[in-house]
Amino acid sequence: MSDDRDIIVKNLSYAYPDGTPALKDVCFEIIKGENVALVGQNGAGKSTLLLHLNGVIENNNGCITIAGKQLEKKNISDIRKKVGVVFQDPDDQLFMSTVFDDVAFGPINMGFSEETVKERVKKSLQKVGLSGFEERCPHHLSFGEKKRISVATVLSMTPDILLLDEPTSNLDPGGRRNIIETLKTLDSTKIIASHDIESLLEICDKAILMDKGRVVATGRSEEILTDIELLNSHGLEAPSIVKMLGDDVIPLLRNNFDSSQIKKHEKTLKKANL
Ligand code: ADP
């Protein structure tokens, strides 16, 4: 029987070396191709969880299976080819003196020929809308450009699974829109940890809500991320647009708002300039 589960996490617990508990008995499954929102207030354990999924933090407790393979020390380099992580701070991702070298770093380490590396860099920069940036110095780019180059450094390894930590944080509206549109074009399985619930509603099918290291709710993103009471009870706030439109926010954000919904919310939409 074929197994369409890309990520299985069972009973994962973790405390940092100083004793701070970060994950408690975390369990969930993600199907191939799903876009999953990972939400929770600061300190909920989102980053710690992402760092476990490609072995940056070693899993001593519980079980993680990626594309049918249990994550263990001996297969960590194989797993890292499948799972790419985009860190919250692009300065943690970019360390070379040119954009080309940063984006080429992964494919070079994977042993590809010079020609293939060049092709991969070109395609990855195209995907993030930054073709022609090859010779620029990453540290002289705008924050939004650095974020997009960070995504390109991972795309160049064509990972089946993408983990993104706060991809839209600290971006201006144009930068945020660029990242959202880029993510929407990618077929890989994605887990996106973010406080930007509006963008998560636009991109994600499924949501995992964490609080104090535990998974407290999982389900379809339109259920979890529009449940104002649930979000409030775990220290989060629904975006104003969810408060204004309720469930109808989904078709609005996903561009299939029909005429009856436009009529129903006419006044609200006018007021909000939408
Ligand atoms: P989130 O990404 O949801 O904000 P984190 O995974 O960063 O949450 O943090 C989970 C918990 O682990 C928090 O209590 C945080 O203070 C703690 N923590 C994170 N990194 C470290 C670290 N390097 N050493 C000790 N505690 C840490």
- pLDDT category of residue 264 using cuts at 50, 70 and 90: confident
- pLDDT category of residue 266 using cuts at 50, 70 and 90: confident
Determine the atom of ligand 1 nearest the C-alpha atom of 41: 3
Q: CA 30 to CA 77: how far, in whole Å?
A: 21
Q: What is the pLDDT of residue 87?
A: 94
- pLDDT category of residue 248 using cuts at 50, 70 and 90: confident
- pLDDT category of residue 59 using cuts at 50, 70 and 90: confident
Q: Is 95 in the pocket of ligand 1 (CB under 6 A)?
A: no
Residue type, 15: A
Q: CA 221 to CA 206: how far, in whole Å?
A: 4
Report in angstroms the alpha-carbon separations of 196 from 41, 166, 224, 227, 239: 12, 8, 14, 15, 8
Q: CA 248 to CA 235: how far, in whole Å?
A: 23
Determine the atom of ligand 1 nearest the C-alpha atom of 193: 2
Distance 102 CA to ligand 1 centre (A): 27
Distance 216 CA to ligand 1 centre (A): 17
Q: What is the pLDDT of residue 110?
A: 92
Report in angstroms the alpha-carbon separations of 85 from 21, 106, 155, 174: 22, 12, 10, 23
The average pLDDT across 252-260 equals 76
**Residue 1, pLDDT above cutoff 60:** no
5-238 classified as CATH 3.40.50.300 = yes
The average pLDDT across 17-30 equals 96
- pLDDT category of residue 122 using cuts at 50, 70 and 90: very high
- Among residues 143, 165, 139, 144, which one has the least CA distance to residue 154? 165
Q: What is the pLDDT of residue 91?
A: 94
Asked if 125 and 133 count as a contact pair (C-beta separation under 8 A), the reply is yes
Show me where the domains of the chain are located.
5-238, 239-274
**Residue 71, pLDDT above cutoff 90:** yes
Share of the chain above pLDDT 90, in %: 79
Asked if 4 and 31 count as a contact pair (C-beta separation under 8 A), the reply is yes
Q: Is 163 in the pocket of ligand 1 (CB under 6 A)?
A: no
**Residue 7, pLDDT above cutoff 60:** yes
Q: What SS3 string covers 142-193?
A: CHHHHHHHHHHHHHCCCCCEEEEECCCCCCCHHHHHHHHHHHHHCCCEEEEE
Distance 45 CA to ligand 1 centre (A): 6
Q: What is the pLDDT of residue 2?
A: 65
Q: What is the pLDDT of residue 177?
A: 92
Q: Is 18 in the pocket of ligand 1 (CB under 6 A)?
A: yes
**Residue 163, pLDDT above cutoff 90:** yes
Pocket probe for ligand 1: among 13, 18, 20, the residue whose CB has the most ligand atoms within 8 Å is 20
Q: What is the pLDDT of residue 147?
A: 94
- The more confidently predicted of residues 251 and 196 is 196
Residue type, 16: Y
